[in-house]
């Protein structure tokens, strides 16, 4: 079998962490609710956004680079006819922007039209692409999503949607939550390990699929349930009902723990767990494992807020204070191209509130340390503002390895904890003390077994076979035999 390849930081294709929406309505254009749904998922991707609709006769699409509010004008939405739609927001990657990778991917072929939006990352894209290229498929982008779409289109030539998806799923290896639209039929698929989230919601006049339940709330809908790992959900064209097909039997779970820790919105419910409560529980566990009595505990806004609130609730005599003010107009510091730019950006983004810091011992709580830039700059800022001591508490274990499943983490040599002990990291960020949360506590707070979580970025032990990476876990080999299924 061909294993996945380590994503390079200068490639735009492989490191995707996105948000997907799919909507079928009874008697109303689906483009506007899809737009609102994407708005609710904006945190999952800021590089590009796209909506594809179908009016029963033909497909319409509008895709562009930038935020949802920038990509679509009122006229663009009005031109997207049809009661079926899928939408996508794409995460920025270190290699910069590439319009060719904007999604949903669209294809027109003998068996109709197809559109596909993907959240996640396959680890066998090269083998799949090579097999399809041999059969004459030409790819205009290097994204794995285009490969899935082509594979599906090929299967749709002689199978119905369920059969075609089943054949394609047998060949996919990696993380994926997909919304697809074949003509005007909208469907959703979740990978057999349940690595990426996908949830079904009910609206007054239809059904919605979304990466996170916050999108369903935004549309005034109700959560029906999560799409199960390995399941295909096909929405009726009028959005009145859905059919579910368990196409792959999961033999284990590998839910991404980082969705709970950082990526998902705190107001989303993933697999039955409200992310905010999970983060508060992570904070409580952090106090239990590594609490330190200081004058104040303060979050790194916004990512550390729920953690700090849980931590402080569990502590007896530690005051909660907002010690850092966020400039909400500064974008994400994580994706800045150079270290210098990242350091400057942290200071543009966060400024201390002197009165809550001066002369105090401070505990600073955040969800994670990746490169260590944020923690280093903030410890320095708090000291400049007069903090007597700064103790850093992190609601996740040290990130020591790259992610191949779709979270845009730094490369291994950029990860501060990859080669250093906790004390070396503490010294590097300049803190008086530093503690992370244990893997066991993370699983307990999420309410699951550790074995059912993907913690590859912490352990270097991945649920998939990745070239150059060892794994102790059982991996399943996909079927990639160029001419099967046609």
Residues labelled catalytic: 18
Based on the shown chain and the rule CB under 6 A, indicate whether residue 189 belongs to the binding site for ligand AMP: no
171, 151 contact by CB (below 8 A): yes
Based on the shown chain and the rule CB under 6 A, indicate whether residue 407 belongs to the binding site for ligand AMP: yes
Based on the shown chain and the rule CB under 6 A, indicate whether residue 334 belongs to the binding site for ligand AMP: yes
Cβ-defined contacts of 136-143 (< 8 Å, 24+): 140/100, 141/13, 141/98, 141/100, 141/101, 141/105, 142/11, 142/12, 142/13, 142/101, 143/12, 143/13, 143/16, 143/101, 143/103, 143/105, 143/118
Q: Name the residue among 162, 330, 135 with its Cα closest to residue 245.
A: 162
468, 412 contact by CB (below 8 A): no
Compare residues 179 and 303 and give the one whose CB is closer to ligand AMP.
Answer: 303
In the complex, least distance from residue 479 CB atom to ligand AMP, rounded to whole angstroms: 32
Among 15, 53, 374, 425, binds ligand AMP (CB under 6 A): 374
270, 260 contact by CB (below 8 A): yes
Instruction: Give the whole-angstrom CA distance, residue 216 versus residue 87.
Output: 14
Give the contacts of 215 (CB within 8 A, at least 6 positions apart).
19, 21, 36, 37, 38, 40, 41, 201, 208
Based on the shown chain and the rule CB under 6 A, indicate whether residue 217 belongs to the binding site for ligand AMP: no
Based on the shown chain and the rule CB under 6 A, indicate whether residue 148 belongs to the binding site for ligand AMP: no
Name residues contacting ligand AMP, limited to 231-270 (CB under 6 A).
262
Based on the shown chain and the rule CB under 6 A, indicate whether residue 300 belongs to the binding site for ligand AMP: yes
Among 372, 395, 406, 456, binds ligand AMP (CB under 6 A): 372
Based on the shown chain and the rule CB under 6 A, indicate whether residue 408 belongs to the binding site for ligand AMP: yes
Compare residues 148 and 369 and give the one whose CB is closer to ligand AMP.
Answer: 369
Based on the shown chain and the rule CB under 6 A, indicate whether residue 366 belongs to the binding site for ligand AMP: yes
Compare residues 303 and 363 and give the one whose CB is closer to ligand AMP.
Answer: 303
Compare residues 103 and 303 and give the one whose CB is closer to ligand AMP.
Answer: 303
In the complex, least distance from residue 94 CB atom to ligand AMP, rounded to whole angstroms: 10
Based on the shown chain and the rule CB under 6 A, indicate whether residue 47 belongs to the binding site for ligand AMP: no
- The torsion of the CA quartet 122, 127, 129, 130, rounded to 10 degrees, works out to 170
How far CA 332 is from CA of 303, 371, 393, 423, in Å, comes to: 12, 14, 21, 28
In the complex, least distance from residue 206 CB atom to ligand AMP, rounded to whole angstroms: 33
Compare residues 194 and 395 and give the one whose CB is closer to ligand AMP.
Answer: 395
Compare residues 67 and 153 and give the one whose CB is closer to ligand AMP.
Answer: 67
Measure the N-to-C terminal CA separation of the chain; round to a whole number of Å: 20
**Which residues of the shown chain bind ligand AMP in the complex (CB under 6 A)?**
262, 300, 303, 332, 334, 366-375, 407-409
């Amino acid at each position: 079998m061909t294993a996945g390849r380590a994503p390079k930081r200068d490639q735009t294709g492989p490191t995707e962490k996105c948000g997907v929406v799919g909507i079928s309505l009874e008697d109303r254009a689906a483009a506007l609710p899809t737009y609102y749904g994407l708005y609710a998922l904006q945190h999952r991707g800021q590089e590009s956004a796209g909506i594809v609709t179908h009016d029963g006769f033909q497909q319409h699409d509008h895709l562009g680079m930038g935020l949802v509010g920038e990509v679509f004008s009122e006229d663009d939405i009005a031109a997207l006819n049809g009661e079926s739609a899928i939408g996508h927001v794409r995460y920025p990657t270190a290699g910069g922007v590439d319009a060719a990778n904007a999604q949903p991917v669209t294809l027109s072929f003998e068996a109709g039209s197809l559109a596909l939006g993907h959240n996640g990352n396959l680890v066998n894209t090269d083998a799949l692409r090579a097999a399809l290229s041999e059969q004459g498929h030409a790819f205009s982008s290097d994204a794995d999503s285009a490969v899935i779409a082509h594979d599906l289109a090929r299967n749709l030539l002689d199978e119905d949607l369920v059969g075609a998806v089943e054949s394609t799923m047998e060949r996919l290896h990696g993380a994926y939550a997909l919304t697809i639209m074949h003509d005007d039929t909208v469907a959703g698929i979740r990978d057999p390990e349940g690595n990426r989230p996908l949830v079904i919601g009910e609206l007054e006049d239809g059904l919605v699929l979304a990466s996170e339940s916050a999108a369903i709330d935004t549309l005034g809908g109700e959560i029906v349930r999560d799409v199960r790992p390995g399941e295909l959900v096909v929405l009726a064209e009028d959005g009145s009902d859905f059919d579910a097909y368990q196409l792959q039997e999961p033999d284990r779970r590998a839910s991404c723990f980082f969705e709970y820790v950082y990526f998902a919105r705190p107001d989303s419910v993933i697999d039955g767990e409200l992310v905010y409560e999970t983060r508060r529980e992570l904070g409580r566990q952090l106090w239990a494992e590594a609490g330190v009595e200081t004058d104040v505990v303060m979050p790194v806004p916004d990512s550390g807020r729920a953690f700090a609130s849980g931590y402080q609730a569990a502590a007896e005599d530690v005051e909660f204070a907002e010690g850092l003010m966020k400039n909400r107009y500064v974008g994400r510091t994580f994706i800045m191209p150079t270290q210098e730019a990242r350091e400057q950006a942290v200071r543009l983004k966060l400024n201390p509130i002197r009165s809550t810091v001066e002369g105090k011992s401070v505990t600073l709580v955040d969800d994670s340390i990746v490169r260590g830039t944020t923690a280093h700059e903030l410890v320095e800022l708090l000291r400049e503002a007069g903090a007597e001591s700064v103790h850093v508490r992190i609601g996740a274990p040290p990130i020591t390895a790259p992610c191949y499943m779709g979270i845009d983490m730094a490369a291994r040599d950029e990860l501060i904890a990859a080669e250093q002990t906790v004390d070396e990291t503490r010294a590097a960020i300049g803190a008086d003390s530093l503690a992370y949360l244990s893997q066991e506590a993370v699983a307990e707070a999420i309410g699951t077994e550790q074995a059912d979580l993907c913690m590859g970025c912490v352990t270097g032990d991945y649920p998939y076979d990745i070239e150059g990476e060892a794994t102790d876990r059982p991996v399943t080999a996909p079927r990639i035999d160029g001419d099967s299924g046609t």
